[in-house]
Chains A and B, each alone.
Chain A
């Protein structure tokens, strides 16, 4: 008897009786909405809303950026643009390092081909790869 009560309680969902009705309603409205978002009217309306938002927010955004840049400059702190520029330079350095890595690999391959006996004893190129287990 207790098990039966527990089972009933476990299964209890006050929305259960409405599930069929809900699913039928959602299915019908889903089809309508898919047709709506696929229409030219929807594309035009969302485009216009986005354009309005961007146009309206532009002066505030620009004013905030300007004020922030001035504040950071007065505090001798780097701005977002400064950090981004630095990060770009880091990427260039990484690219150069990767080019060097490729050149070293090619040299090792040439050496390995020229001296197969020695190359056997040489540490394989793949061991140079730094790995980090995640």
Chain B
């Protein structure tokens, strides 16, 4: 009895230590972001300041970075959910012989480290960028070509980054959504067909509401994955005004001579917030609340 309670105490002690160890980075970032004298060492702030946060938006272009991140990652999430939703549905319902090989090929894309492919990918994007440049110059007046390319360019433009991020996140989303549709019997669609719903109505009124948990899970993972991606914005974005949060964070850390730990931490906190918010938003879709339409 005594032996086991001692063992239990040891176990709890060990777990507590592990917990503290895991929490330390978060605590350090939290404390440092509001500490006017933040250092490399963890300490309770003696005073509280919002200066670091203010500095992000005043001394640097933090608002712009934040906006860029939200636009590219938001568009990526939207694109992946729409394309993954339709593709996942098709993959689930298809009985073609090439379905299984295709599914494994798709997941293989996800398995390969993107770093290994970054050079050929850059080359491909550069060619696409040239084509797009010619197109844009043909349509848009010369003085606004540069602005248009910031949106539609494949290199150093929103569109290119969005497509690359989407391509990276799409395989997993396809798999999640495909698996989800596998669990959704065809009977629902056929019932809707008998009720007189056309293709669009079946998708909008039956399939999407029923697949919401799957779409939500895929969307959340896409958002978090794309939000945390560093290599793609680093490679494909060079203009300062298109720079996103992870790059801003990286540059702040590697800036010459001194490191401003308070500023760095504030930026880190800002960088973490949307991911947490996305989780909070998607959480309610993740639980499959709808059961009982089928069988007894």
Q: Are A and B a genuine interacting pair, yes or no? A: no
Using CB atoms and an 8 Å cutoff, list the residues of chain B in contact with chain A.
none
